[in-house]
């Protein structure tokens, strides 16, 4: 009876005839089917459920975004092996679609065949899972000073994925570019680097974050190898070398490729052939120092990118002379010099202070003496100027 009713509904709908004049009005006329929107990742399984609270044996139907009927009641209408019936009752119709593709995304319709037909729509969102990222542009090895560009690419994401760069554990910013490819997106992020020796052995990681990656983000790591010329320094075991002591000089050289072996020389020539002087790898050892060991020792390291060296001046002290040596005259001399300098500064400051407070008084008697050719004239000049005797001028330096 229900199939015939559906066939009549379809037929008269095409003919433009109002079905309510033919089919009886259902008691569920005011009721609508209930559905839910669903989001899932590509390749998953989606269950589409349509429910009604009360139903007088009216049929339920699921249709796809292209308005093709998938199931009418418990009857399958579309030949697609991925689509299966889960549950079909008068109050529920649930179907499943497996191996969901991006093409399955869209608006699905559940229809309740009352008069008139009532519908509810559920939107199925399919997330495109981004592929594992690839890092391109890495030159192995890179040379110190080279300018390189690392590019991380991931495709197949929907919506567009987020790409992040890390230098070891520290996040750094790259230049992002997003391109659409059909329903999905290809995301590219680039890093421009001028490499130096500090980049040797550094891990550059590209991580992809996306809503479809519910567990850990996908990532790819590349370790940068940088070749650079060596740098050399000499480390020693004694501060004041003395006769008879043991001394070890270590030539510390850093370069890539590793500059092995290193070359030890003394005063520009070969090392003397002595039993108490031993060279082992990067170390030069004196088992018992002697004053004849005095000199300049050089360690030289070489790889295909260059040569570098360091020098150590060895002066062997007589331990007896060190014990008999009096106070440090250089230190005493320095202290004395400081005391003398401070004293001179105080004298200069005091002299300037006294000079600023010294006054010169010029009386009329003095003025007369300045202009007179002899002492008597000076006295007369002074006596004649008693009217102005009280006037005194004071000058300050």
- For residue range 201-253, what is the model confidence (pLDDT) as tens digits? 999 999 999 999 987 789 999 999 999 999 999 999 889 999 999 999 999 99
What average pLDDT does the structure give for the chain? 83
Bigger pLDDT: 99 or 10? 99
Beta pairing partners, 381: none
φ and ψ of 21, to 5 deg: -80, -10
User: Cα dist. 172→164, 191, 388 in Å?
Assistant: 8, 9, 92
pLDDT at 167 over 90: yes
CATH pick for 134-224 out of 2.40.50.100, 2.40.390.10, 3.90.1300.10, 2.60.40.10: 2.60.40.10
Domain boundaries along the sequence of the chain: 2-127, 134-224, 229-321, 340-397
| Structure confidence at residue 324 as a pLDDT band (50, 70, 90) | low
Cβ atoms within 10 Å, residue 15: 7
> Alpha helices, DSSP H only, in the chain?
2-15, 319-324, 329-356, 364-371, 375-383
Pairing outcome for strands 162-167 and 170-172: antiparallel
CA–CA separation, 320 vs 287, rounded Å?
20
> What integer is the mean pLDDT of 176-183?
94
**In this predicted model, what pLDDT tens digit does every residue of 8-43 receive, in sequence order?**
334 333 333 333 333 333 444 558 899 999 999 999
Higher pLDDT: 369 or 357? It is: 357
Is the pLDDT confidence value at 177 over 70? yes
Distance CA 117, CA 120 (A): 10
On the question of pLDDT at 302 being above 70, the answer is yes
Give whole-number Cα distances, 17 to 7, 21, 23, 113, 151, in Å: 13, 8, 11, 16, 64
pLDDT at 350: 82
167 CB-near residues (< 8 Å, 6+ apart): 202, 203, 204
- Architecture of the domain delimited by 229-321: Sandwich (2.60)
Spatial distance between the Cα atoms of 298 and 249, rounded to a whole number of angstroms: 10
For range 90-103, the mean pLDDT: 96
Between vectors from CA 147 to CA 145 and to CA 148, what angle results, nearest 5°? Answer: 130
Can you name the CATH fold of 2-127? Answer: Immunoglobulin-like (2.60.40)
Q: What is the DSSP string of 135-153?
A: EE---SSEETT-EEEEEEE
pTM of whole model > 0.75? no
Q: Radius of gyration over alpha carbons of the chain, in Å?
A: 51
């Amino acid at each position: 009876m229900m199939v015939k009713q559906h066939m009549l509904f379809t037929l008269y709908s095409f003919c433009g005839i109002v079905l309510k004049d033919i089919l009886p009005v259902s008691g569920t006329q005011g009721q609508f089917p209930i559905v839910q929107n669903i989001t899932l990742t590509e390749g998953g399984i989606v269950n589409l459920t349509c429910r009604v609270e009360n139903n007088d044996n009216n049929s339920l139907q699921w249709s796809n975004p292209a308005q093709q009927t998938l199931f009418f009641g418990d009857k399958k209408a579309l030949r697609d092996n991925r689509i299966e019936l889960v549950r079909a009752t008068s109050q529920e119709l649930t179907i499943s679609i497996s191996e969901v593709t991006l093409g399955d995304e869209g608006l699905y319709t559940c229809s309740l065949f009352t008069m008139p037909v009532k519908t509810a729509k559920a939107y199925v969102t399919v997330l495109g899972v981004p592929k594992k990222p690839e890092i391109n542009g890495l030159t192995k090895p890179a040379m110190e000073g080279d300018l390189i560009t690392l590019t991380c690419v991931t495709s197949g994401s929907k919506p567009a994925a987020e790409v992040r760069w890390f230098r070891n554990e520290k996040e750094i910013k790259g230049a992002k570019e997003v391109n659409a490819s059909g329903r999905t997106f290809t995301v590219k992020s680039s890093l421009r680097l001028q490499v130096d020796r500090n980049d040797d052995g550094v891990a550059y990681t590209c991580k992809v974050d996306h809503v479809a990656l519910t567990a850990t983000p996908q990532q790819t790591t590349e370790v940068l190898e940088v070749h650079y010329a060596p740098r050399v320094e000499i480390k020693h075991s004694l501060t004041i070398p003395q006769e008879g002591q043991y001394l070890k000089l270590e030539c510390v050289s850093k370069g890539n490729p590793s500059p092995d072996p290193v070359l030890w020389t003394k005063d520009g020539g070969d090392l003397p052939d002595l039993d108490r002087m031993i060279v082992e790898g990067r170390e030069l050892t004196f088992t018992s120092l002697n004053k004849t060991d005095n000199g300049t020792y050089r360690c030289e390291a070489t790889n295909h990118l260059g040569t570098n060296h360091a020098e150590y001046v060895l002066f062997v002290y007589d331990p007896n002379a060190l014990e008999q040596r009096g106070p440090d005259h250089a230190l005493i001399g320095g202290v004395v010099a400081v005391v003398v300098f401070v004293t001179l500064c105080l004298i200069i400051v005091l002299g300037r202070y006294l000079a600023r407070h010294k006054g010169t008084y010029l009386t009329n008697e003095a003025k007369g003496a300045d202009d007179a050719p002899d002492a008597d004239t000076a006295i007369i000049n002074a006596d004649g100027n008693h009217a102005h005797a009280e006037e005194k001028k004071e000058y300050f330096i």
